[in-house]
Amino acid sequence: MKKILFFYLLAHLGAQNNYELENLVIFEDKYLIKFTENLVEGDVFTTYTGQKVLNGRILKGVKEGKWVEWYETGTKKIEYNLIKGFLSGPIKLWNDKGTLLTSGSYIKGNGTTIIQNLDEYTLPTNGRNGNWEFYYENGQLKKYEEWENGILVSETEYYKNSKKVKYEAKYGDRNPDPDKQVILDYIGSIELPISSYTGLKTFYYSSGKPFSVQQ
């Protein structure tokens, strides 16, 4: 009986489905095989110059576990984790030269809409947790954020090629209008980040002297 069970498990593992990412499509927030209604169930790969590289796993049409995407050069582009399609745990992004651009973590991140290509511009804010760091292309720290279960509680941004603070803010009280945006008229317009909390945001000249305080 044990031998039969062993060979059954071996055959089952050997029958694990493998898919090329380019042969998959997203339909109604599920990954399907192109030109079919079949949900993807198995490991997903991408082929780079003849080399097959594992990206991650999809179960019942939804990404699950650790996922890694790569540049053609062979360096990592993005690495993240999911639980039943929801971003959960650490996430990191690099540029094509291997410089870290973003580092953060999620608790039950975006799971209502599948984002096919995650990058620094499409990372969902809901579910962000803990410390988030964003870097300039040269590796210098650009921005530091602190999140608590999807709520931004503090942030600091720095000028490029400088350790001088561009602006900093700490948030405390709930914002009655979380969609409100403030536009600051200073050398063009600066679109301020939206937060579910209100607080004072202080802006500084590159010399370090403050020039504006906004709520």
Q: What is the mean pLDDT of residues 171-190?
A: 46
Same domain, 117 and 38: yes
The Cα-based distances of 154 to 11, 49, 103, 138, 171 in angstroms read: 53, 44, 16, 24, 6
* C-alpha to C-alpha distance for 90 and 107, rounded to whole angstroms: 9
Same domain, 68 and 116: yes
Position 14 scores a pLDDT of 44
Instruction: Look at the pTM and tell me if it is higher than 0.85.
Output: no
Length of the chain, in residues? 215
Q: Is residue 4, in this structure, part of any structural domain at all?
A: no
Query: Could you report the per-residue pLDDT of 83-118, keeping only the tens digit for each?
Result: 988 999 999 999 999 999 999 999 988 876 677 678
Same domain, 93 and 34: yes
Write down which residue in 116, 149, 182 finishes a domain. 149
Which two three-digit tokens encode residue 161? 């090629």
Q: Within its chain, how far is the Cα of 192 from the centroid?
A: 20
pLDDT at 198 over 50: yes
Grade residue 192 by pLDDT with cuts at 50, 70 and 90: very low
Q: Within its chain, how far is the Cα of 194 from the centroid?
A: 18
Same domain, 132 and 199: no
Q: Are 151 and 196 in contact (CB under 8 A)?
A: yes
Position 171 scores a pLDDT of 86
Give the DSSP per-residue string, 97-108.
TS-EEEEEEESS
Q: Is residue 114, in this structure, part of any structural domain at all?
A: yes
- Give how many domains the chain has, as a whole number: 2
Query: Could you report the per-residue pLDDT of 61-80, keeping only the tens digit for each?
Result: 999 999 999 999 999 999 99
Residue pointed to by tokens 């031998």: 3
With DSSP H G I counted as helix, E B as strand and the rest as coil, what are the percentages for the chain, rounded to 5? Answer: 5, 50, 40
Establish how many alpha carbons lie within 13 A of residue 4's alpha carbon, considering only the half-sphere containing its beta carbon.
1
Position 112 scores a pLDDT of 67
Same domain, 131 and 103: yes
Q: Which domain holds residue 109?
A: 17-149
Query: Could you report the per-residue pLDDT of 110-133, keeping only the tens digit for each?
Result: 876 677 678 778 888 889 999 999
Q: Is residue 137, in this structure, part of any structural domain at all?
A: yes
The torsion of the CA quartet 29, 30, 32, 36, rounded to 10 degrees, works out to -70
Same domain, 35 and 134: yes
* C-alpha to C-alpha distance for 131 and 141, rounded to whole angstroms: 13
Same domain, 96 and 190: no
Position 138 scores a pLDDT of 96
Residue pointed to by tokens 């796993």: 57
pLDDT at 159 over 70: yes
Position 120 scores a pLDDT of 79
